[in-house]
Amino acid sequence: MAKQTPTIDEQLRRLEEIRQQLEAADRPIEELVALYEEGMAIAKQLREQLTSIRQRIITIGGQTEQTDTAQPNGD
């Protein structure tokens, strides 16, 4: 069974957890570095997902504009 990609909301929650743990700094440096790496990986995934979503919205918007201009004017 393939592992599902966490939702954007789940990733944001995990990123917030990591931020809080990094700010507490009550962990060994090795663990803090691992948390930082995890946070950076999540941030990269989020950027990619949001870029993809943005492109979809732009595409949908362009299709809507084309449909609107193709409609005959009722005047």
State the DSSP string of 34-56: HHHHHHHHHHHHHHHHHHHHHHH
Residue 46: the pLDDT is: 97
The pLDDT of residue 37 is 99
Residue 53: name the closest of 19, 21, 8 by CA: 8
Distance CA 17, CA 47 (A): 18
Model pLDDT, residue 20: 96
Confidence at residue 25, expressed as pLDDT on a 0 to 100 scale: 80
pLDDT in tens, the chain (75 residues): 567 889 999 999 999 999 999 999 889 999 999 999 999 999 999 999 999 999 999 999 888 777 666 666 555
User: For the whole prediction, is pTM greater than 0.85?
Assistant: no
Please report, for the chain, the start and end positions of each structural domain, with discontinuous segments joined by +. Answer: 10-61
